[in-house]
Amino acid sequence: MAKGPEAFRSISEASGELGVPQHVLRFWETKFTFVKPMKRAGGRRFYRPQDIAVLAGVRRLLHDQGYTIKGVQKLHREQGLKRFTGEGETEEPRAAPAPVPASAPTPPPAPAVERPVRDRVIADHEAAKARLDAALAKG
């Protein structure tokens, strides 16, 4: 029997709905002050629909968009919860770019990295990694 959209979710149901393990939800509670599920006697967590929406936003920012925990905390401080629930994501219309005058010089193309230079840089990085691995192995 499926729950209605307004029903509270247990941590296992929330975990399944969001696609993250239960321990991750508990961890997010410690890192994000705005994640506050209801707790019943015995410490059982129950997530309201708005909690699920916020957690889905946190998950999207961390897992899909590559934000760090500190980055998500900063977004919350600057933009509030609207950023997490998707309410603040409407894209504002952008102004058309200013026309470039015909007399404006065109910038030169960016220089391409020559293959030997690139290969030498890669070799230097691999050698440095090998030295670091050897130093750590001696450790």
The structural domains of the chain, ordered by start, are: 9-85 (1.10.1660.10)
Tokens of 14: 């929330």
Place of tokens 């999207």: 60
For residues 34 and 62, give the distance between their C-alpha atoms in angstroms, rounded to a whole number.
15
Give yes or no for a contact between 6 and 47, defined as CB atoms under 8 angstroms apart.
Answer: no
The tens digit of pLDDT for each residue in 26-81 reads: 999 999 999 999 998 888 999 999 999 999 999 999 998 889 999 999 989 988 88
Provide the 10 A C-beta neighbour count for residue 75.
Answer: 18
User: Interhelix angle for 22-31 vs 49-59, to 10°?
Assistant: 90
Average pLDDT value for residue range 104-119:
63
Q: Mapping DSSP to helix (H, G, I), strand (E, B) and coil, where does residue 10 land?
A: strand
Indicate whether 19 pLDDT > 90.
yes
Q: Which residue has the higher pLDDT, 88 or 138?
A: 138
The tens digit of pLDDT for each residue in 66-84 reads: 899 999 999 899 888 887 7
Identify which of 11, 18, 20 has the alpha carbon closest to the alpha carbon of residue 43: 11
